[in-house]
Amino acid sequence: MKILVWLIGVAITAMSILVILKPQIARDLSERMNPRMFYFGAWARIVIGMIFLVISETRSWATLFNGLGILLVVVGAYALQSGYERTREFVLRVVHGNENVVRVAGAVGVLVGILLISAT
């Protein structure tokens, strides 16, 4: 389990760093998003949020882990509730908007990835 969490953290961190360096990657991924990728991403957010909630008791920054866990579960559940088309439209609006917003989202991804790595 620890190795899987570590690998997920490394993958999220690496992808987020790429998005910070080149926001065009986020545009390309969002334009290619299909329903399978959408549902995988939404459930991945929920699972990662649950991991944060489970390990928050054992970490010194329990409030941060609890907050991120709740946020990820809510975002994943909201995406599932909104549906593929509505969420895809929102994501496309965001990535075709201001590049700095995309970079900030990448920075949040780096934070989540590093926290997952530190959780192992």
pLDDT tens column, 102-117:
999 899 999 888 988 8
- The predicted pLDDT at position 27 comes to 87
How many domains does the chain contain in total?
A: 1
Range of the domain at 41: 2-118
What's the chain look like in SS3? CHHHHHHHHHHHHHHHHHHHHCCHHHHHHHHCCCHHHHHHHHHHHHHHHHHHHHHHHHCCCHHHHHHHHHHHHHHHHHHHHHCHHHHHHHHHHHHCCCHHHHHHHHHHHHHHHHHHHHCC
- Output the pTM of the full model: 0.78
